[in-house]
Chains A and B, each alone.
Chain A
């Protein structure tokens, strides 16, 4: 589904991604871990199409398409979704209106008719139940004055609405209380099918208790320096990153 090869990216003069290789197949869950500042969010942003980062080398294939050639909105329409580590405030635009625009632009891209108000409302109600989100939150300006947890929950709600083929969740577990973490994790599990895939960026084993990863990768200084199965996450929880880093140096 996603094939990242030797990806190098920089911002200004600073190279942040220094040769990332990653293969994700349909039905898989990958966890990406790694110390602060190692480049996890940068990787997520580059995949989503943020233009502040310049890709200097490498390629990304997503479902047979050259992902790097596509505008961010085209990537979304092709089925890519990024849950932001820091969701952005959108003044004056409610989640409901925002999602209506998103759904209908994506449908137009895919050659489908726009959804009418009735269909939209029905679908919206279903998805609200998935992540246990309140109507009042959805009619407020998106992310404006939302608590940290509300923002994260809203990201998962948007994911439920858009039904992506590949979802990248950048520290969606950070800042969630125990109940919210469970709800978010259940939401992710409910949305899981053999046709889609998930990349979880996280610092904590806790999330991986709920969503069992098929692969765990360690990103360090812009490279994936170690990959393994779910046991690697347990080992990291116990021993930290030092043993991996010192083996490298």
Chain B
């Protein structure tokens, strides 16, 4: 069924390159992930087979409110089509991948050798098959932009729609940007939002990547963010998963040079009817690098959470420091959390540590607070906000921090109001 509608639709609307045909074949062979796939055990997408998807999304326009704080540019990805709203700052260009590769002929072979881990990732194949000449944000050598670049990622549809989006951020040596991505949706129909974001961070470059995922209840969002780091580069990544019926974050870091620092910060706060799954990979391929993972989760209503954190330290990656922490609070009896740290270390001179915990709010603490006149819902909110604060505090940008903090407070308050 899936196969037929997909192939029919593609024949009508696309002419596929050989690589795309190959990817399409792979996807059709594997299908959507089911709970029988180890990597998708708690986050099956089998139900996606039941929809009669529109595989070529309509181009619709949308009004996106502009922030009242200073930003350097706005880039929109609307149902897979990327463009910039207004001019981009000096030293930054937005162009198609074919143009980009034509202008960087030596890069193509480097790019093709990057070798990400794609086991059990049929949605990546699907994206590869359907995301045509996607956009590249090219940050030129030495360009440093202090104000955030705002990325409006949007999916919408007037019928059940499968959206494939892809974007590539290429940072040349010594460049620096902050990418603030607001993922939003507008649809009363089901949407499969399948998003691939590749980021290449050259020597000495620095990117702060902030994802604010606030999508509708009927959205299935699968996010593949693959970051390739060269010597002495720095990445500060933040993923705030606030709303969506289903979110799967595949966040991969490939450390391909020495003196690299990779910071992964994440907060997921699923409520009633929501599933949020983080699968992180930190692949230390070169020596003298450092990775720090700090994840926190608050699970409310009948929410499901998944955290799988893989750290690979390859034989060449001596003197690696890798830390991982994942702490969760079940704020409801009906919520579940599945955690699995997975460390594979082939080098001997390394420092690695990891810890995952899942607990509940203490009844003692709640009673103590109530005995001072604080209602149970407020007491829970205060404790949960104190719990998530550590991740929010790591955001260096005041306005973004305030905006996200408000959003998180509102979500937690609203969800607790529902479950009392």
Q: Does B370 contact A (CB under 8 A)?
A: yes
Contact B369 A98 (CB under 8 A): yes
Residues of A within 8 A of B374 (CB): 73, 98, 101-102, 105
Contact B373 A92 (CB under 8 A): no
Q: Does B11 contact A (CB under 8 A)?
A: no
Bound together, the chains give a CA A52 to CA B373 distance in angstroms of 18
Bound together, the chains give a CA A93 to CA B382 distance in angstroms of 7
Contact A88 B364 (CB under 8 A): yes
Secondary structure of the B contact surface, majority rule: helix
Contact B386 A92 (CB under 8 A): yes
Interface size in chain A (residues, C-beta < 8 A): 33
Q: Does B48 contact A (CB under 8 A)?
A: no
Partner of B386, one of A50, A71, A93: A93
Q: Does A130 contact B (CB under 8 A)?
A: no
Q: Does B409 contact A (CB under 8 A)?
A: no
Contact A76 B386 (CB under 8 A): no
Bound together, the chains give a CA A93 to CA B366 distance in angstroms of 12
Contact A73 B382 (CB under 8 A): no
Bound together, the chains give a CA A102 to CA B372 distance in angstroms of 6
Contact B368 A91 (CB under 8 A): no
Residues of B within 8 A of A52 (CB): 363
Query: In the complex, which of the residues B362, B373, B374, B383 has the most CB atoms of chain A within 10 Å of its own CB atom?
Result: B373
**Nearest-Cβ distance from residue B106 to partner chain A, whole angstroms:** 51
Q: Give chain B interface residues in 357-402, CB to chain A under 8 Å.
A: 362-365, 367-376, 378, 382-383, 385-387, 389
Q: Does A90 contact B (CB under 8 A)?
A: yes
B-facing mask of A101-135, CB < 8 A → 1, else 0? 11101100100000000000000000000000000
Residues of B within 8 A of A69 (CB): none
Residues of B within 8 A of A91 (CB): 365, 383, 386-387
Contact B371 A72 (CB under 8 A): yes
Contact A93 B383 (CB under 8 A): yes
When C-beta atoms are compared, the residue in chain A nearest to B375 turns out to be: A73
From known contacts A88-B365, A90-B365, A90-B368, infer whether A73 and B383 are also in contact, taking CB-CB under 8 Å: no
When C-beta atoms are compared, the residue in chain A nearest to B388 turns out to be: A92
Residues of B within 8 A of A31 (CB): none
Contact B376 A73 (CB under 8 A): yes
Residues of B within 8 A of A193 (CB): none
Residues of B within 8 A of A50 (CB): 367
**Nearest-Cβ distance from residue B210 to partner chain A, whole angstroms:** 23
Contact B382 A162 (CB under 8 A): no
Contact A82 B375 (CB under 8 A): no
When C-beta atoms are compared, the residue in chain A nearest to B384 turns out to be: A92
A residues near B, CB below 8 A? Answer: 48-52, 71-73, 75-77, 81-82, 84, 87-93, 97-99, 101-103, 105-106, 109, 141, 158, 162
B residues near A, CB below 8 A? Answer: 362-365, 367-376, 378, 382-383, 385-387, 389
The 5 closest A-B pairs by CB, nearest first: A92-B386, A76-B373, A72-B370, A88-B368, A106-B373
> Can you give 23 contacting A-B residue pairs, CB < 8 Å?
A48-B367, A49-B367, A52-B363, A71-B375, A71-B376, A75-B371, A76-B371, A76-B372, A77-B373, A84-B371, A88-B364, A88-B367, A89-B365, A90-B383, A91-B383, A92-B385, A92-B387, A98-B369, A98-B372, A101-B378, A102-B372, A102-B374, A105-B374
